[in-house]
Amino acid sequence: MTPRERFLAACACEPLERPPVWIMRQAGRYLPEYRELKARHGFLKLVRTPELAAEVSMQPVRRFAFDAAILFSDILVIPEALGLGYAFRDEGGIAMEGRIAGRADVEALAGEGAVPDRLSYVAEALALLRRELAGTRAVLGFGGSPWTLATYMVEGGSSVDFGRVKSLFYDERATFDLLLGKLTRSLVAYFKMQIAAGADALQIFDTWGGVVAGPDYEAASLRWIRAIISEMPEGFPIIIYGKGTGSHLMDQAFTGARVLSVDGSVELAGVRRSLPGNVAVQGNLDPAILNTTPETARRETLRLLESVRGCRGHIFNLGHGILPQARIDCVEALVGAVTSWR
């Protein structure tokens, strides 16, 4: 069985000897070869140049026996394609090149028709990655959820309290819905393009889903995710990653997503037991464990694996993205523990 087959079998909740493994942000700053390429070209050039994006996506799978390679890109390419570019703040975090303050700003954004053209480099990068992997590992595409993208666009960048986007949601619902509808249609076009370019599965990052109050999660975020999934080919593997959305897992499970990626705030075994048997779970080791020692990384990886022994439908991953301080030998220990586990 190839790693790609193992990954797809886990998405389909088929029985496996051991779960497939990959980690969020596996192409990134903890890798010296990534830091070297980024110092030479800059982040945005890596994202926008198909050969470089494919190369960065390959870096982690050359080093580690991951079952999947995720395309190197960013969720913020969608706001950029609609007319709102992004950059990095010196002190860390994102600064958008402006912000959506009202209806006129939403109307001024490009429509979904702009997506295939402006983001053709993503399709090219995915096709290169797919060709290079030649069916050995699964190829993952991704995008942000409409809500998570809206937080960056309305706040003008990274946020602490999400005050502006919440005001829009609670006080100007028609404008909020107009923006989220536009993002939803753009993401549908974007995901269809990624599927056509060869993605085996797609992950929707709802990183900020947990900041909206429980009863409002549906109207602010989940209904838009559901609308996207309903436009995807029947049965195509869609993974929803939500941070802080552990109380909404059952609702997420009925969106048509095949996999729910859970953060470290929930107990994986309990989640696995309570969700429908045809929905897989992905997660959820604490990323900070990769900053400790290989012994600890191995021990905690085995502890998580044992907690779901005998369960179908588990993809091993972290509860959130790997940190820049992560140790290479800890990642090796994690991957070794998963791939040798029986």
Interacting residues toward ligand CP3 by CB under 6 A: 24-29, 38, 43, 70, 72-76, 88, 92-94, 142, 205, 207, 321
User: Least distance (Å) from ligand CP3 to the CB of residue 92?
Assistant: 4
**Residue closest to ligand CP3 (Cβ):** 207
Helices (H), the chain: 3-11, 32-41, 43-48, 50-63, 77-82, 103-108, 115-118, 120-133, 146-155, 163-171, 173-197, 217, 223-230, 249-253, 268-274, 294-307, 328-339
Q: Which is nearer to ligand CP3, 13 or 194 (CB)?
A: 194
State the pairing for strand pair 94-96/86-88. antiparallel
Query: With left for phi above 0 and alpha for psi between -120 and 50, is residue 25 left, alpha or beta?
Result: left
User: Least distance (Å) from ligand CP3 to the CB of residue 22?
Assistant: 9
In whole angstroms, what is the distance from residue 330 CA to residue 297 CA?
A: 6
User: Least distance (Å) from ligand CP3 to the CB of residue 292?
Assistant: 20
Q: Which is nearer to ligand CP3, 164 or 312 (CB)?
A: 164
User: Least distance (Å) from ligand CP3 to the CB of residue 129?
Assistant: 11
- Is 204 in a helix, a strand, or coil? strand
Under 8 Å between Cβ of 239 and 202 = yes
User: Least distance (Å) from ligand CP3 to the CB of residue 48?
Assistant: 13
Peptide bond into 291 cis (omega under 30): no
User: Least distance (Å) from ligand CP3 to the CB of residue 262?
Assistant: 13
In whole angstroms, what is the distance from residue 249 CA to residue 81 CA?
A: 31
Give the count of beta carbons closer than 10 Å to the beta carbon of residue 64.
19
Q: Which is nearer to ligand CP3, 13 or 204 (CB)?
A: 204
In whole angstroms, what is the distance from residue 107 CA to residue 118 CA?
A: 18
User: Least distance (Å) from ligand CP3 to the CB of residue 74?
Assistant: 5
Q: Which is nearer to ligand CP3, 13 or 96 (CB)?
A: 96
Q: Which is nearer to ligand CP3, 70 or 262 (CB)?
A: 70
Q: Which is nearer to ligand CP3, 13 or 316 (CB)?
A: 316
Q: Which is nearer to ligand CP3, 70 or 119 (CB)?
A: 70
Under 8 Å between Cβ of 19 and 338 = yes
User: Least distance (Å) from ligand CP3 to the CB of residue 68?
Assistant: 10
Which residues does residue 318 pair with via DSSP β-bridges, in sequence order?
285
User: Least distance (Å) from ligand CP3 to the CB of residue 273?
Assistant: 26
Under 8 Å between Cβ of 167 and 161 = no
In whole angstroms, what is the distance from residue 231 CA to residue 185 CA?
A: 9
Give the count of beta carbons closer than 10 Å to the beta carbon of residue 70.
24
In whole angstroms, what is the distance from residue 326 CA to residue 28 CA?
A: 10
Q: Which is nearer to ligand CP3, 13 or 67 (CB)?
A: 67
Q: Which is nearer to ligand CP3, 13 or 129 (CB)?
A: 129
